[in-house]
Amino acid sequence: MTMRLQKNLTLASQSKIRADLLRGAGLDFEIRISGVDEAALKLAHQGTAEELALALAAAKAQAVSAEHGSDGLIIGADQILECNGVLYDKPRNMAEARANLLRFRGQTHYLVGAAVLLEAGEIVWSHHGRVGLTMRDYSEAFLDAYLEAAGTAVLGSVGCYQLEALGAHLFAAIDGDYFSILGLPLLPLLDGLRTHGGLLA
């Protein structure tokens, strides 16, 4: 079943899980990759994690609009991981993934996510939220077994896990929206599309 929008929809992201979430919700859309230099934006940013996530989401949507144009809506989204006041990027290699997971072990970290809808170069809707995830105090033997089983897929996630897969074994508790953990605040976004995209209410 396809849920019809009155406007064309573009996702400014190469994230497979974000695309899968939108497809699962019955939305028809195009994918465009922004090419935004996220590292430079993060280095220059002086505000909160929420402000950074919103800035990155907006930058992705605006870059796609500037390069490709759009006669509809562009979705930009981003997610920041914060643990004990430190912001983390995706790990560059398996050794860094292991080191990060040792830092997260037994701690609560936060996934701070944001999404925007851009139309005619202007942001018409935005949302940000914070989800708390508490990892178990797992053994290093478990961690090594997890990394071996999960493989390089952990490098595609800022937290070094896919919660919908083997990553579930890392956690003791989760406080917040499941879709936002996966990388897209789907329910608020659908509400935004009802308001700005003509999705049936």
Residues designated as active site: 78
Q: Answer whether 53's CB lies under 8 Å from 127's CB.
A: no
- Helix 94-104, helix 140-150: angle, nearest 10: 140
What whole-number distance in Å separates Cα of residue 159 and Cα of residue 101? 8
Phi then psi dihedrals of residue 113, to 5 deg: -115, 155
Residues 6 or more apart whose CB falls under 8 angstroms from that of 170 comprise 101, 104, 135, 136, 138, 146, 161
Which residues make beta-bridge pairs with 126?
116
Largest alpha-carbon pair distance within the chain?
53
Which parts of the chain fold into alpha helices (H)?
16-24, 38-44, 49-68, 94-104, 140-150, 178-182, 186-196
